[in-house]
A and B are shown apart, each in its own frame.
Chain A
Amino acid sequence: MTNFLNYALPGIPYGCDFALMALGLVITFRATGVFNLAFGAQAFFAAFIFDLLVRSQGLPVWAAFIVSVLVISPLIGLGLDRFLFRHIPTASMTAKVISAVGLLIALPQMIPIFFGTTTRLNPPSLWLDPNHIEFHIFNTPVNGGELSTMVITLGVVVAVVAMFRWTAIGLEMRAVVESRRLSQLQGIDSPKVAATAWAMSSLLAGLAGVLMLPLTAELIPTDPLQFTSLLVAGLTAAAIASMRSVPIAFLAAVALGVVENVIHGYLPSGVLTQAVVPAFPFVVLVAALLFNPGLRTLDLSKDPLAGVDPPPPPPAVAIRDPRLVVPMRWSWRLLLIGFVVSALTWVPGYWVTSLAQGLVLSTVFLSVTLITGMSGQLSLCQATFAGIGAFAAGQLAVHSGMSVLVGALVGAAIAAAAGGLIALVAVRISGLLLTLVTLAFALFADQFLFQYSWSGGGLTGVKVPRPVIGPFDFGSDRAFLVLALVVLALISGLVALVQRGTTGRFLAAMRGSPVATASLGISLTRAKVTVFLLSAGVAGLGGAFYGSLYQGASASNFNYAYSLAFVVVVITTGSTRIEGAIQAGMSFAIVQLILTYVPVRFGGLLPVLFAVGAMTYAQHPEGIVEYQKSKWMGRVSRGLAAYDSRRASRAPAELTVPEPSHG
Chain B
Amino acid sequence: MVEAPAFGQAPFDLPSPLLEARSVSISFGGVLALDEASLVVGPGESVGLVGPNGAGKTTLFDCISGRRRPDRGTVKFDGHSLDGLPAFRRARLGMARTFQRIEVFPELTVRDHFLVAERARQGEASLWRDLLNMSSPRAAEVERVDALAALVGVTELLDVPVAALGLGTCRLVELGRALACEPKLLLADEPSSGLDIHETHALADVLRTIQSERGMAVLLVEHDLQMVARTVDRVVVLDLGRVIAEGPFDRVIDDPEVRRAYLGRSA
Residues of A within 8 A of B (CB): 306-307, 311-315, 317, 494, 497-498, 500-506, 508-509, 511-513, 515-524, 526-527, 530, 534
Contacts and interface: CB of A to CB of B under 8 A. Distances in A.
A242 to B, nearest CB: 15
Which size class do B's interface residues fall under? 35 or more
B161 A314 contact: yes
A642 B111 CA distance: 32
A315 B105 contact: no
A430 B83 CA distance: 24
B103 A513 contact: yes
Interface string B84-107: 001111011000110101111111
9 contacts: A315-B106, A497-B131, A501-B131, A502-B126, A502-B130, A503-B135, A506-B120, A508-B112, A522-B116
Contacts of B88: 518-524
A520 B117 contact: yes
Contacts of B208: none
B65 interface: yes
A519 B87 contact: yes
Interface string B144-179: 000000000000000001011101001000100110
A526 B105 CA distance: 19
A520 B161 contact: no
B167 A311 contact: yes
A578 B78 CA distance: 45
Contacts of B96: 519-520
B133 A497 contact: yes
B169 to A, nearest CB: 10
Contacts of B115: 505
Given A505-B125, A520-B88, A530-B127, 5 more contacts: A311-B102, A311-B163, A503-B127, A509-B105, A519-B178
Nearest to B167: A311
Contacts of B127: 498, 501, 503, 530, 534
B105 A516 contact: yes
Contact of B112 (A306, A505, A519, A530): A505
A513 B97 contact: no
B223 interface: no
Contact of A315 (B102, B107, B130): B107
Nearest to A523: B88
B230 interface: no
- The A interface is mostly helix, strand or loop, or mixed, namely helix
Contact of A497 (B107, B112, B130, B178): B130
Interface of B: 65, 67, 86-89, 91-92, 96-97, 99, 101-108, 112, 115-117, 119-121, 124-127, 129-131, 133, 135-136, 161, 163-165, 167, 170, 174, 177-178, 181
Given A311-B106, A497-B130, A498-B131, A506 B163 contact: no
Contact of A501 (B101, B104, B130, B181): B130
Contact of A518 (B91, B125, B163, B177): B91
Contacts of B108: 505, 508-509, 512
A504 to B, nearest CB: 7
A502 B125 contact: yes
Given A518-B91, A520-B177, A494 B104 contact: no
Contact of B120 (A313, A501, A520): A520
A178 B123 CA distance: 41
Most buried by B among A500, A501, A521, A526: A521
Nearest to A621: B107
Contacts of B87: 515, 518-519
Most buried by A among B86, B88, B89, B108: B88
A598 B161 CA distance: 46
A447 B129 CA distance: 40
Given A497-B131, A512-B107, A521-B91, A503 B125 contact: yes
Contacts of A509: 105, 108, 116
B167 to A, nearest CB: 7
Given A518-B88, A521-B91, A506 B125 contact: yes
Nearest to B133: A497
